[in-house]
């Protein structure tokens, strides 16, 4: 997967980028041009920070390449912060401080705000992961809980009765959770049924394929490895044009909460 491809422009070509950033509204961030960050407690991890509050998001997304023997043993997240980890490629041992789980490609774990996510790559190859964190929105009588699964075991359904669009829900849909993760897969020619407009934000990582994405009525070419941030009320929709694989992406969505004022 091409999450860290860095093709040089200068000196053999022009300096250019497909990136489009409209802070607070939307952003397309291709893998070319991503930089690595040194972060505390992420040992032997190549970290790239994607969406943040500085972009306009109320969450933070990362790409994390965990080298053999690397990981975060001190803990990702803190009191009040919920976390999510998805294995894009490889193997990883994860824990919520109470139980330990072995994840493979497609595996994921959600850890609630009162626990801390740790992980370690015990294999001999680098493991590509996607990380997410957000401040949990408390409601009296509701409490989220650790949830572990693998997207390959999740049965998809037709998205809004369209047989060429597959929709997977990765986390429970009950009110204890204030967000969810989904995978949408569009066969060639598949698309949203309409251009959506809503207050929920998304962070989306393209897992495969290529297509066109409408971001605030700008039709932008996208493909595997790209990251998209969609802010509140950003107009959004896409269609798939890839011949070799469906346009598929992993994305987060706020849910199950009223709006604070």
* CATH 2.60.120.10 intervals, the chain: 36-152, 154-254
Q: State pTM to two decimals.
A: 0.95
Kindly report, residue by residue over 157-187, the tens digit of the pLDDT: 999 999 999 999 999 999 999 999 999 999 9
Count of Cβ atoms closer than 10 Å to residue 134 Cβ: 23
Give the list of residues 6+ apart from residue 3 with CB closer than 8 angstroms, or none: 31, 34, 63, 65, 88, 128, 205, 225
Kindly report, residue by residue over 53-101, the tens digit of the pLDDT: 999 999 999 999 999 999 999 999 999 999 999 999 999 999 999 999 9
Confidence of residue 4 (pLDDT cuts 50, 70, 90): low
- Residue 8 reports pLDDT greater than 70: no
- pLDDT (0 to 100) of residue 244: 86
CATH classification for the domain delimited by 36-152, as one of 2.60.40.420, 1.10.3720.10, 3.40.190.80, 2.60.120.10 = 2.60.120.10
Cβ atoms of residues 50 and 21 within 8 Å: no
- Average predicted confidence (pLDDT) for the chain: 94
Partners of 29 in beta bridges: 227
Percentage with pLDDT > 90 across the chain: 89
CATH architecture of residue range(s) 154-254: Sandwich (2.60)
Confidence of residue 229 (pLDDT cuts 50, 70, 90): very high
Confidence of residue 6 (pLDDT cuts 50, 70, 90): low
């Amino acid at each position: 997967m091409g999450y860290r491809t860095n093709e040089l422009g200068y000196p053999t070509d022009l300096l250019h980028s497909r990136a489009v950033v409209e802070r607070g509204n939307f952003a397309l961030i291709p893998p070319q041009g991503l930089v690595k960050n040194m972060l505390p407690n992420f040992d032997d991890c190549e970290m790239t920070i994607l969406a943040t509050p500085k972009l306009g998001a109320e969450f933070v997304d990362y790409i994390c390449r965990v080298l053999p023997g690397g990981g975060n043993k001190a803990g990702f997240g803190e009191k009040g912060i919920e976390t999510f980890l998805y294995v894009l490629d490889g193997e990883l041992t994860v824990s919520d401080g109470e139980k330990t789980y072995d994840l493979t490609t497609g595996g994921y774990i959600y850890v609630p705000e009162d626990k801390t996510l740790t992980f370690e790559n015990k294999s001999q190859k680098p493991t590509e992961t996607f990380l997410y964190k957000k401040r949990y929105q408390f409601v009296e009588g509701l409490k989220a809980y650790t949830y572990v699964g693998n997207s390959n075991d999740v049965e998809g359904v037709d998205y809004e009765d369209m047989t060429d669009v597959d929709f997977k829900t990765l986390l429970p849909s009950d009110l204890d959770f204030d967000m969810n993760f989904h995978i949408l897969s569009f066969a060639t020619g598949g698309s949203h049924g309409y251009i959506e407009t809503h207050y929920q934000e998304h962070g989306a990582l393209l897992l495969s394929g290529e297509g066109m994405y409408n971001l605030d009525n700008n039709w932008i070419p996208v493909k595997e490895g790209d990251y998209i941030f969609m802010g509140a009320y950003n107009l959004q929709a896409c269609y798939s044009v890839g011949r070799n694989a469906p346009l598929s992406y992993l994305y987060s969505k706020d849910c199950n909460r009223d709006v604070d004022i």
